[in-house]
Amino acid sequence: MSDSREPKTQTMAETESYLAWQAEEPDGEVTYHLELNNVTLHFFNEEWAEFLDLVRILVRDADKKA
């Protein structure tokens, strides 16, 4: 039997050492989580959007140097 108080989780991406997943909380809010070896980062929607902006800048700048 499913417990409606438990978040519904979904893996977004995974490598050998890293994992990105999201959780739909019982109140409807979606949170995002990055597991990077032994560190886990947790994000709310606004924080996740800003983090993605940061990653896009990093990728853009790294591509310019390649």
Q: Write out the residue range of the structural domain in which residue 35 sits.
A: 8-65
Q: What is the pLDDT of residue 23?
A: 98
Residue 65 confidence (pLDDT) = 87
d(CA 1, CA 43): 29
- Per run of 10 residues, the mean pLDDT along the chain (length 66 residues) is 82 97 96 97 98 97 88
Q: pTM score, two decimals?
A: 0.85
pLDDT score, position 2: 60
Q: Residue 5 in 3-state DSSP?
A: coil
Q: Does the residue 38 lie in any domain?
A: yes
Residue 32: the pLDDT is 98
- Domain assignment present for 3: no
Structural domain includes residue 1: no
Q: How many domains does the chain have?
A: 1
Which residues have C-beta within 8 Å of that of residue 25, sequence separation ≥ 6? 7, 31
